[in-house]
């Protein structure tokens, strides 16, 4: 009886090993069949569709193995795509505008998120700053050549403050947190999560100012034109995965927050507090074209554009064909 039990156990063990080998072989075949894509992402709440598509396997359903590479801002994501270190990248609207002056074939295949409140100002109340005019003569920080730079200009203009009367420092978004907490600057103009993180450290010493509808920030998926033309099925799969993520975010916001929070280094409660400001929609709309034309004019007027630059054709930045083929209602330009 004991020998029969041992033989039965051995047979069961062998069967389990064979099943495991078959399963792992099947998984290896599936992985080999997936098209590898490297995506640069900006570690911001507005990138939630990317994190959800990755976590929930929406891209794998489209035959893609997407490897996320984190960067601290969208401009660096765009640089990775331009430099061939990534196939696709998360980027806000201003860096592509500046690329358009050089006529580089970087294209925007879809917006993923837009909103009127992701860009904010954090000021040191304890340094006597209670209204925009108090910024005159103060040290403030932004990231030059990014949406934070443009937001600084549009905010001050709307409040009747001359930018030249401020001492503007060029800092990365993460360095701004250290600078304002340590008192090296008295205000920062940037995106999330640095605003919330710095406010959490400063408490009542600081105050957050919203843009109040002054400026709409937009986050796009950017890809080189040659890659799009050589890999249309891949780009289509990326967009379909993002559309699935958009629907998931609408239906299960709490789960989307759970997925996103560790990716952007924010706790769930803090992220939940700003979640409502994000408008997640995979689309290409004329209002984005209008916004970016305005930014191009601003770049020329302020000297941020190369010397002697003429107005670029911003429309060339948008590659609409693939999204339009998936769902024409998502394209309006």
Q: What is the dihedral of CA 18, 21, 25, 28, to 10 degrees?
A: 160
Tell me phi and psi for residue 40, to 5 degrees: -85, 130
Quote the percentage of the chain above a pLDDT of 70. Answer: 90
Note the pLDDT of residue 29: 38
157-204 residue pLDDT tens: 999 999 999 999 999 999 999 999 999 999 999 999 999 999 999 999
pLDDT at residue 254 greater than cutoff 90: yes
Q: Which domains does the chain have, with CATH numbers?
A: 35-115+217-332 (3.40.190.10), 120-210 (3.40.190.10)
How far apart CA 150 and CA 24 sit, in angstroms, is: 51
How far apart CA 297 and CA 293 sit, in angstroms, is: 6
80-138 residue pLDDT tens: 999 999 999 999 999 999 999 999 999 999 999 999 998 999 999 999 999 999 999 99
Note the pLDDT of residue 25: 40
HSE-CB of 225 using CA atoms within 13 angstroms = 10
Beta-carbon neighbour count of residue 216 at 10 Å?
Answer: 18
User: Helix or strand or coil: residue 278?
Assistant: coil
Q: How confident is the model at residue 9 (pLDDT cuts 50, 70, 90)?
A: very low
Beta-carbon neighbour count of residue 209 at 10 Å?
Answer: 17
Note the pLDDT of residue 160: 96
Q: Which two tokens stand for residue 30?
A: 């599936």
Helix (H) or strand (E) run with residue 246 in it: helix 232-251
Q: How confident is the model at residue 20 (pLDDT cuts 50, 70, 90)?
A: very low
25-80 residue pLDDT tens: 444 334 458 999 999 999 999 999 999 999 999 999 999 999 999 999 999 999 99
């Amino acid at each position: 009886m004991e020998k029969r039990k041992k033989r039965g156990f051995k047979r069961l063990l062998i069967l389990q090993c064979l099943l495991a080998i078959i399963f792992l072989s099947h998984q290896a075949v599936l992985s080999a069949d997936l098209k590898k894509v490297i995506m640069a992402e900006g570690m911001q709440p507005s990138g939630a569709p990317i994190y959800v598509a990755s976590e929930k396997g929406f891209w794998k359903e489209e035959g893609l193995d997407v490897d996320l590479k984190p960067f601290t801002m969208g401009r660096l994501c765009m640089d990775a795509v331009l430099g061939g270190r990534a196939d696709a990248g998360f980027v806000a609207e201003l860096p592509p505008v500046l690329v358009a002056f050089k006529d580089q074939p970087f294209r925007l295949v879809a917006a993923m998120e837009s909103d009127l409140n992701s860009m904010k100002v954090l000021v040191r109340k304890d340094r006597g700053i209670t209204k925009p005019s108090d910024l005159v003569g103060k040290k403030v920080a932004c990231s030059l050549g990014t949406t934070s730079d443009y937001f600084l200009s549009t905010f001050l203009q709307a409040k009747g403050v001359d930018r030249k009367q401020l001492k503007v420092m060029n800092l990365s978004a993460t360095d701004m947190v250290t600078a304002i907490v340590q008192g090296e600057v008295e205000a920062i103009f940037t995106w999330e999560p640095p605003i919330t993180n710095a406010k959490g450290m400063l408490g009542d010493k600081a105050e957050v100012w919203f843009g109040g509808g002054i400026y709409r920030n937009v986050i796009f998926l950017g890809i080189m034109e040659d890659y799009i033309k050589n890999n249309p099925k891949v780009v289509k799969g990326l967009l379909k995965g993002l559309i699935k993520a958009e629907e998931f975010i609408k239906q299960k916001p709490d789960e989307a927050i759970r997925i996103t929070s560790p990716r952007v280094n924010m706790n769930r409660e803090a992220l939940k507090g700003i979640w409502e400001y994000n408008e997640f929609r995979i689309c290409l709309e004329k209002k984005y074209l209008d916004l970016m034309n305005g930014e191009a004019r601003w770049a020329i007027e302020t000297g941020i554009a190369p010397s002697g630059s003429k107005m670029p054709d911003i429309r060339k930045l948008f590659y609409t064909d693939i999204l339009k083929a998936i769902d024409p209602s998502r394209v309006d330009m």
